[in-house]
A = this chain, B = another copy of it.
């Protein structure tokens, strides 16, 4: 397979026809190389992970569901190492091309899945989202992306990073296909439905770059026109950085639990920034971890308070468009920190979020996001379809 976008895992050819006659029949998809496909090594974006793991014995249930629904799997896609990254930079396998902005990074960690969708090599693609790994590449590449309600799609047959944050999500170019995949994975599609209340997240727009709000104006207008009522408010009563730090702490703690023993046994090669994060994860104390728990709890309570039934929150998916390639390590670090201030909002509270490719800034995609109540995933997908026709 020719791979001009460096979207696919090299030297491994996966091609499995979908079952005939399903709802996804005729669609082609790819999966991030953290999902098991029987007979293939799940590489996780790290050569030493691949070298220390044999071929998967069974296929991940989420992949099987899509195949049974008729979609054809055409490949596995590149990822940031062990899903540890938000920019799509992989020191071993290179950075997939962002088809919407070839000078810029595609975002990560589900970088290859986003590139394959944005480049129209597939109709949809599976990714995972722990701290933004679907929402950020979707925003940077100008495509649809969803981080479902935490626990809505069971974590099985994939490399887990931080299980209390890990979710399985996907990308599509088209709001109909985007929703159709949800129909298969959630078991139901939602019909057209007005959100009772639209909440514009004031504090989040304040930390995104000012031109982002301007770029979102038309889409915001379309969303307002679809809602019964709308208002602006600040999500976090203290400082978004509090929620962000709590997520960072707990995610690091869990990532160390997921990978620490393997790292000790293998002494693997990592890009320096990835190693650096694992070093800091390993250094985290149980006290720090325990101090973060009540912050996550109050974060969840506050979000439940804002999200009365039928409420949808609107916020920017990322602080701005995709950054240029060739960032220094220290710049990558700052960039990542800027991003998780936004992605922690749904991530820390386990809420569903979709990002819509409706807005541009200087010709570059800047995603606009919707966060809904727990388990309102189908409603968000339905709303995405409605707005798509209005912007």
Residues of A within 8 A of B (CB): 48, 89, 91-92, 263-273, 275-276, 278-280, 328-330, 332
Please name the residue on chain B nearest to A48 by beta carbon: B91
Q: Is there contact, CB below 8 Å, between B270 and A275?
A: yes
Residues of chain B within 8 A (CB-CB) of A276 are: 275, 279
Q: Is there contact, CB below 8 Å, between A271 and B269?
A: yes
CB of A335, distance to nearest CB on chain B (Å): 12
Known contacts A269-B270, A269-B271, A275-B272; decide if A329 and B264 are in contact (CB<8 Å): yes
Known contacts A275-B279, A276-B279, A279-B275; decide if A269 and B92 are in contact (CB<8 Å): yes
Residues of chain B within 8 A (CB-CB) of A268 are: 91, 271-272
Known contacts A275-B275, A279-B275, A279-B279; decide if A89 and B269 are in contact (CB<8 Å): no
CB of A149, distance to nearest CB on chain B (Å): 34
Contact of A278 among B269, B271, B272 (CB under 8 A): B272
Known contacts A275-B272, A275-B275; decide if A264 and B92 are in contact (CB<8 Å): no
Residues of chain B within 8 A (CB-CB) of A91 are: 48, 267-269
Inter-chain pairs besides A266-B272, A279-B280, 8 sampled, C-beta below 8 Å: A91-B268, A265-B328, A266-B329, A267-B273, A267-B329, A269-B269, A269-B271, A270-B270
Q: A266 CA to B272 CA in the complex, in Å?
A: 9
Q: Is there contact, CB below 8 Å, between A267 and B328?
A: yes
Known contacts A269-B269, A272-B270; decide if A328 and B89 are in contact (CB<8 Å): no
Q: Is there contact, CB below 8 Å, between A271 and B279?
A: no
Q: A263 CA to B273 CA in the complex, in Å?
A: 9
Q: A278 CA to B278 CA in the complex, in Å?
A: 13
Residues of chain B within 8 A (CB-CB) of A279 are: 275-276, 279-280
Q: A276 CA to B278 CA in the complex, in Å?
A: 9
